[in-house]
C-alpha cells in the first residue's frame, strides 16, 4: 500500500510538471487536432450536398420507390452514409496518430533528465523507493497527462461533429460510428500513446540534461515509427493504402451499417463506401498478438531500464 502511494505521489508530481512544462501537452494536442481536422475536413466540405440530397421532390420519391425505398428509409440511409463517410476518411487522416510515435518520445524524454538537471535526483534516491517505483511513477504521471489531452481531443471531435451536424442536418453521427471512433481511440490510439510516452521516458534515463535527451528522443521516435509500421503493418488492399496498422484495419473491416448493406444490396459489394471485398482478413488473434508484442516489448524495456538504474546508479 505504501509503495502504491509513493508511486502515485511521483506520478502526481510528474503530471503537474508535464502540464507546466507544456511540451507533452502541446505535442498531444497538436496531433489530436491534426487527426480531428483530417477526419472532419472531407465530410464537412460536402455537408451542403447532403443537405441538398435530403430535400425531397416528387421525382426523387418516385425514383426511391423504384428501388423499393420509402422516404423514411432513405433519410436513415443518408444519415448512416454520412456517418460511414467519417469512417472512410480515417483511412488517410488516422495516419496523424502515428506521428505520436515520432514526437511523443521527444516530448517525454526530458522527464528523468529534468530531475538530474534540477539536482533533486540524489535527494529522491535517498528516500525508501526503488528504481522501479520511480520509473513507474514517472511513466504514469506523463501518461496520465497524455491520456487526458487525448481524451479531450476525442471529446472535442465528438462535440464539433455533433454540433455541426445537428445545426445543419438536424441529426448527428450514427451510434455505430460513435462507437467506431471510441474503439479506434481505445484499440489503436491508446497503445500508440502508451508506447510513445513510455519509450520517451525510458530513453531519458541515460541523460543528465533535458537538452541532451532531445535528439536521442527523436531517434527513439523514428525507431518507434518505423518499427510500428513494419511490425503491425496492415495488408495493402484497395482503400487501405498501407497507411495504417492492424488495429485500424481490423476495426474498419468489422465496421457495419445499414447504409453499407443497402449499397451492397443495390449495387453489389464493390459499390459501398468502405469496399473491402476480397481484402485479406485480419482476425482478432492477430490483434491480440499485436497487443501482446507491445506489452512484452514494454515490459522488456522497463526491465532493462530498471537494471540500468540498479547497475549504474545503485537505485
Partner 1 sequence: MITVSQLTKTYGNKVQALRGVDLEIGTGMFGLVGPNGAGKTTLMRILAGLLRPTSGNVSVLGNDVTTSRGKLAVKSVLGYLPQELGLYPDLTAIEFLEYVAVLKGITDKIERKKQVDETIELVGLSGDARRKMRTFSGGMKRRVGIAQALLRKPQLLIVDEPTSGLDPEERVRLRNLLAEMSVRCMVILSTHIIEDVSQSCNDLAVINLGKVLFRGSPGDLIAQARGRVWNLITSGERPDSDLTVVSTMQIQDGAQYRVIGTPSEAHKAVSVEPTLEDSYIWLMQQSRT
Give the residue with the Cβ less far from partner 1, 10 or 184. Answer: 10
Q: Which is nearer to partner 1, 84 or 115 (CB)?
A: 115
Q: How far is the CB of 126 from partner 1 (least distance, A)?
A: 4
Is the CB of 121 or the CB of 197 nearer to partner 1? 121
C-beta of 264: minimal distance to partner 1 in Å? 58
Strand partners, 240: 237
Q: Which is nearer to partner 1, 124 or 144 (CB)?
A: 124
Cβ distance 202 to 104 under 8 Å? no
User: CA-to-CA distance for 104 and 192, rounded, in angstroms?
Assistant: 10
> 245 has which bridge partners?
233
- Residue 213 contacts residue 204 (beta carbons within 8 Å): yes
What length is written for the chain? 315
Site residues for partner 1 per CB under 8 A? 1-2, 5-6, 9-10, 13, 16-17, 20, 117-120, 122-130, 313-315
Q: Considering the complex, state which of residue 6 and residue 224 has its C-beta at the smaller distance from partner 1.
A: 6
Helix-then-strand count for the chain, H and E: 15, 0
Residue 1 C-beta: closest distance to partner 1, Å: 7
* 3-state secondary structure labels for all residues of 38-85: HHHHHHHHCHHHHHHHCCCCHHHHHHHHHCCCCHHHHHHHHHHHHHHH
Q: How far is the CB of 14 from partner 1 (least distance, A)?
A: 10
Q: Round to whole Å and give the CA distance between 14 and 155.
A: 24
Output the smallest distance, CB 2 to partner 1, in A. 5
Nearer to partner 1, 8 or 152 (CB): 8
Q: Are 92 and 243 in contact (CB under 8 A)?
A: yes
Q: How far is the CB of 117 from partner 1 (least distance, A)?
A: 8
Side-chain-side CA neighbours of 96 within 13 Å: the count stands at 20
Amino acid at each position: 500500500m505504501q509503495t502504491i502511494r509513493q508511486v502515485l505521489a511521483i506520478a502526481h508530481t510528474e503530471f503537474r510538471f508535464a502540464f507546466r512544462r507544456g511540451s507533452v501537452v502541446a505535442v498531444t494536442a497538436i496531433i489530436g487536432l491534426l487527426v480531428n481536422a483530417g477526419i472532419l475536413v472531407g465530410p464537412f466540405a460536402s455537408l451542403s450536398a447532403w443537405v441538398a440530397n435530403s430535400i425531397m421532390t416528387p421525382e426523387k420519391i418516385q425514383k426511391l420507390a423504384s428501388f423499393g425505398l420509402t422516404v423514411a428509409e432513405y433519410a436513415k440511409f443518408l444519415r448512416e452514409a454520412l456517418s460511414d463517410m467519417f469512417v472512410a476518411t480515417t483511412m488517410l487522416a488516422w495516419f496523424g496518430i502515428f506521428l505520436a510515435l515520432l514526437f511523443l518520445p521527444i516530448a517525454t524524454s526530458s522527464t528523468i533528465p529534468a530531475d538530474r538537471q534540477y539536482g533533486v535526483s540524489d535527494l529522491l534516491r535517498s528516500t525508501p523507493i526503488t528504481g522501479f517505483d520511480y520509473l513507474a511513477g514517472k511513466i504514469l504521471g506523463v501518461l496520465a497527462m497524455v491520456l487526458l489531452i487525448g481524451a479531450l481531443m476525442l471529446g472535442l471531435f465528438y462535440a464539433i461533429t455533433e454540433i455541426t451536424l445537428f445545426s445543419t442536418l438536424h441529426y448527428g453521427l450514427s451510434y455505430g460510428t460513435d462507437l467506431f471512433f471510441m474503439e479506434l481511440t481505445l484499440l489503436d490510439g491508446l497503445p500508440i500513446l502508451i508506447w510513445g510516452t513510455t519509450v520517451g521516458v525510458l530513453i531519458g534515463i541515460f541523460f543528465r540534461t533535458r537538452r541532451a535527451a532531445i535528439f536521442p528522443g527523436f531517434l527513439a521516435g523514428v525507431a518507434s515509427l518505423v518499427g510500428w509500421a513494419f511490425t503491425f503493418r496492415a495488408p495493402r488492399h484497395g482503400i487501405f493504402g498501407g497507411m495504417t496498422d492492424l488495429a485500424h484495419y481490423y476495426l474498419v473491416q468489422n465496421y457495419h451499417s445499414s447504409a453499407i448493406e443497402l449499397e451492397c444490396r443495390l449495387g453489389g459489394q464493390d459499390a459501398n463506401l468502405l469496399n473491402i471485398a476480397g481484402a485479406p482478413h485480419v482476425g482478432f488473434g492477430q490483434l491480440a498478438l499485436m497487443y501482446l508484442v507491445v506489452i512484452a516489448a514494454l515490459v522488456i524495456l522497463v526491465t532493462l531500464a530498471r537494471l540500468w538504474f540498479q547497475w549504474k546508479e545503485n537505485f
